[in-house]
Amino acid sequence: MSDFVVVSRDYPRLAQLLVEQAPSFEGSPEFRGLGPSDLEIPSVVCGAFRRFVEHAHLQGPQEEATEAARAMEWMASNSDPEIENYLIVDVFEHLELEGSALDAFLARLLPASRALYERWIEPST
């Protein structure tokens, strides 16, 4: 018989945890557009979070961009591998930022999230 360890997973509570990391996300049009059933689906929540991130970096106040960066760092550093995967697949891969907006976004990324972005989205050749 094998021993196993039950690990607590964060992804089922992703909406709540993102709001804890980025409180302005909860009041954003992106979050308010989610219905109750949407809040149960991490990839849908992350799609709304990606739009929040884009808005924060393009038009939002500095505080929103700072919160977004902190939330992405939390996602990149989380012990639940699904959270890291949602950051890569549902946020980074679908960003619609280009040129100087993308440069500004990348400059705001903190170390763990920057490393993930560079590893999976723009790997060095």
Per-residue pLDDT of the chain (125 residues; tens, 9 = 90+): 577 776 678 778 999 999 999 999 999 999 999 999 999 999 999 999 999 999 999 998 999 999 999 999 999 999 889 999 999 999 999 999 999 999 999 999 999 999 999 999 988 64
35 located within any domain: yes
- Residue 51: domain span: 11-120
**96/104 Cα distance (integer angstroms):** 13
* Closest C-alpha among 76, 73, 77, 79 to residue 7: 79
**Per-residue pLDDT, 125:** 43
125 located within any domain: no
Q: Tell me if 80 sits within 8 A of 118, measured CB to CB.
A: no
111 located within any domain: yes
49 located within any domain: yes
**64/22 Cα distance (integer angstroms):** 7
Say what the pTM is: 0.91
Write down the residue that tokens 């039950």 correspond to.
Answer: 6
Radius of gyration for the alpha carbons in the chain, expressed in angstroms and rounded: 15
Domain count, the chain: 1
